Structure 1
Amino acid sequence: MLLALLLSSAAFFLPDAQLPWLVLVNALLVLHGVINKGRISGLIRYIAMQLVFTVVLYLAIHGGNQVGQGLLAVARIFLAVVPGWWLTHSVSGEAIGELLSKFMPSKWAFVAVASLNLLPFMMNEAREIYQLQLLRGARIAPKQLLNPRNWSELCYCVLFPLLVQLLKLAQQTAIAARARHFGHKLRRTHWRLARSKHDHK
């Protein structure tokens, strides 16, 4: 976790001349994550959308003179996201919760782990909402989003329904935690994966 935090921070604070070394380290992290059966398609789509929005904004505000700075900003964002993606595919949520609870209250650790576990589900929800809104005729196709006038439709058709779904999931998680008497003790036991008989041997 410290490694992921340091690498994500370095993406914003390192000078431009040292970014190639960080790119090499992140490439190794991506390779390790793929070996651990991590899906890189969602990461690529996120960066692609970020690239489109950033380039359009720089073109609209500064013209074509500072597009290179926009590309560099997107590259730094990508380098900052990769360590977190690698962490979620390399370390189990149980291990992260156990570690976090040593440095923060158990309730905060539970919220952090629950948020990490919800990320893949929310990515799938966002993809389904986006595809359904496309079928309804919303002007949110990649080519249509090049026009800033259609960004409000993206917020109304995709981001707002996704936010509502996220609030529902948060409420369901809170109800489930309350039903299991979470928070009645200062130090909680941790969720560990059940070991098979073969593991005990």
Structure 2
Amino acid sequence: MWASCRRLRALRHWSYERRETALCALSLLLVCVLSACAFVLPAALLLPLAGLNGLLVIHGLLRRGSIWGVLKLGLVQLSITLSLYLILYGVEHLAQGAVVVTRIILATIPGWWLCITTAPERIGEVLSAFLPTKWAFVVAASLSLLPYMADEIREIYQIQCLRGARITPKALRNPKNWSELVYCVLFPVLIQLLKLSRQMAVAAQCRHFGLAQRPTHWHSPRDKND
């Protein structure tokens, strides 16, 4: 009796894992299709695509995701692109620059939604089905580091502002201060990222990663709690 209960519980767990992996694979396919459509579809079809991306945004917000990063990226990209179009082509081509930025934002939203709704280890498991195991591990590890790196960038930026660096939004209106943003924020972030990459490589090596031909995949308990 006890053995049959354990077998039934194992079958339910296995079916759950297979269902979650299949959903992750479908999510990856959906993200690839939507991101590709953002660049290849004509401008007349961008509005329906924006509606689909709006549904992804709503679902991501319901999963307690934050869209502020995508909005800030869009605003920065919009200001830079429109400025370049204004300098190079004049006022007549500003609409084309706005369309370019719209395509970039529409290509970014599906990836944001995937990071919010899918655990990195699930993505690594799916990618390992048709990619080398090490490549799948790198992609999954990179996705898992995104929230941490966002916090690191925010902390470094705030510390540099307290030190008097001219990198506030008002100061960055002057192009002469852009180089200070590179030295004070981008370079420290790059150094921190290289340090984290080294630590992850050492941790994987200590766990003998890559020696088994068919590695196992650990699933976080948060999959079942979401």
TM-score for both structures, normalised by structure 1:
0.90
Residue deviations 1:161-190 (CA, integer Å, cap 9, x gap): 111111111001101111111011122100
Does residue 190 of the first structure (1) align with residue 217 of the second (2)? yes
- The structure whose Rg is larger is 2
- Code of the residue aligned with 1:182 in structure 2: it is F
SS for the counterpart of 1:169 is helix
Q: Percent identity?
A: 54
Give the match for residue 83 of structure 1: 110
Does residue 43 of the first structure (1) align with residue 108 of the second (2)? no
2:204 to 177, 183, 191: 177
Distance (Å, rounded) in 1 between the aligned partners of 2:192 and 2:204: 18
- 1:94-105 to structure 2, matched below 5 A, reads 94-105=121-132
Give the match for residue 81 of structure 2: 54
> Deviation of residue 194 (structure 1)?
4.5
Give the match for residue 166 of structure 2: 139
Instruction: Check the 8 A contact 1:94/1:190 in 2, yes or no.
Output: yes
2:141 to 114, 124, 130: 114
Call closer, same or farther: CA 1:61–1:136 in 2, change over 3 Å. farther
- 1:57-68 to structure 2, matched below 5 A, reads 57-68=84-95
Unaligned segments of structure 1, at least 5 residues: none
Instruction: Check the 8 A contact 1:56/1:146 in 2, yes or no.
Output: no
Call closer, same or farther: CA 1:131–1:79 in 2, change over 3 Å. same
Which aligned segments of 4 or more residues in structure 1 are displaced greater than 4 angstroms?
none
Alignment: residue pair count:
197
Give the match for residue 163 of structure 1: 190
Instruction: Check the 8 A contact 1:139/1:145 in 2, yes or no.
Output: yes
- Code of the residue aligned with 1:5 in structure 2: it is C
Call closer, same or farther: CA 1:77–1:145 in 2, change over 3 Å. same
Instruction: Check the 8 A contact 1:8/1:83 in 2, yes or no.
Output: yes
Distance (Å, rounded) in 1 between the aligned partners of 2:33 and 2:42: 15
> Deviation of residue 68 (structure 1)?
2.1
- Code of the residue aligned with 2:72 in structure 1: it is R
Call closer, same or farther: CA 1:157–1:55 in 2, change over 3 Å. farther
Distance (Å, rounded) in 1 between the aligned partners of 2:154 and 2:127: 30
Distance (Å, rounded) in 1 between the aligned partners of 2:201 and 2:221: 24
Distance (Å, rounded) in 2 between the aligned partners of 1:133 and 1:58: 32
SS for the counterpart of 1:51 is helix
Call closer, same or farther: CA 1:75–1:173 in 2, change over 3 Å. same
Distance (Å, rounded) in 2 between the aligned partners of 1:63 and 1:156: 32
